[in-house]
Amino acid sequence: MEINLLDSHPKTNRDYDKRALEKTPEIIRIAKQFGKEFFDGDRKCGYGGYVYDGRWKTVVRRMKEFYHLSETAAILDIGCGKGFMLHDFKELMPDCTVAGIDVSAYAIENAMPLVKPFLEIASAEGLPYPDKVFDLVISINSIHNLPIDLLKTALREVQRVCRGNSYITVDAWRNEQERQNLYKWVLTAETMMHVDDWKKLFNEVGFTGDYWWFIAD
């Protein structure tokens, strides 16, 4: 299902033209290392300070309700960063089981203390978990950082480890202006497509989860 479960998340104001001027090959190289500069360095290199502020609480609550998650549900976050969403799941559902992966050693090392023991360095195309162990698998603005062949593998991996529901968001556009804005803004994505092409890809690989878009509107 195409559904926006992130509509309560605060919207960021973006200066696309400013980013396009700053986006040099060196800045892109730094961003794709997913280190301190990407998370907590200058805004032109990434987040410009990746700090917990509780903004995911309403999203997590909605996901719990939408997917009818039990108090003991098992939840995986692919591209978990510092574990903000998993932290909020654990606060909302203390008896749930959480797991998270990220390619960034820096993010894992600086993760939220409540969930840090459950996070590890790994990439989506090779999830270090058995089949059908998670009631919910989420990946927010992450797997599009893979080239398309590995992205297809990652989607199949989501299917493999999921015994319940899955939800992903990826970089996409619906019109030419959104496409131009996206290419001005994005630093790390390897795969970006029109929403219709994403849907074709989901069908191709047999991805049956829910999805939404990062749209640069």
For the domain that residue 176 is a member of, what is the CATH number? Answer: 3.40.50.150
Q: Token pair for residue 20?
A: 């396009």
Alpha carbons 1 and 98: distance in angstroms, whole number: 24
Alpha carbons 51 and 60: distance in angstroms, whole number: 17
Q: Does 39 fall in a domain?
A: no
Q: Does 36 fall in a domain?
A: no
Query: What is the 8-class DSSP label of residue 11?
Result: P
Owner of token pair 């032109």: 44
Partnered with residue 211 across adjacent β-strands are: 2, 168
- Domains: count for the chain: 1
Assess contact for 96 and 71: CB atoms under 8 A. Answer: yes
Q: Token pair for residue 208?
A: 């049956």
Q: Does 110 fall in a domain?
A: yes
Report helix, strand or coil for 135: strand
Q: Is 25 left (phi over 0), alpha (psi -120 to 50) or beta?
A: alpha
Q: Does 112 fall in a domain?
A: yes
Partnered with residue 138 across adjacent β-strands are: 77, 167
Q: Does 2 fall in a domain?
A: no
Task: State the residue range of the domain holding 186.
Answer: 54-210
Q: Does 187 fall in a domain?
A: yes
Q: Does 32 fall in a domain?
A: no
The confidence score (pLDDT) of residue 27 equals 95
What does each of the 217 residues of the chain score in pLDDT, given as a tens digit? 999 999 887 777 788 999 999 999 999 999 999 999 999 999 999 999 999 999 999 999 999 999 999 999 999 999 999 999 999 999 999 999 999 999 999 999 999 999 999 999 999 999 999 999 999 999 999 999 999 999 999 999 999 999 999 999 999 999 999 999 999 999 999 999 999 999 999 999 999 999 999 999 8
Convert the pLDDT of each residue in 138-175 to its tens digit.
999 999 999 999 999 999 999 999 999 999 999 999 99
| pTM metric for this prediction | 0.95
Q: Does 118 fall in a domain?
A: yes
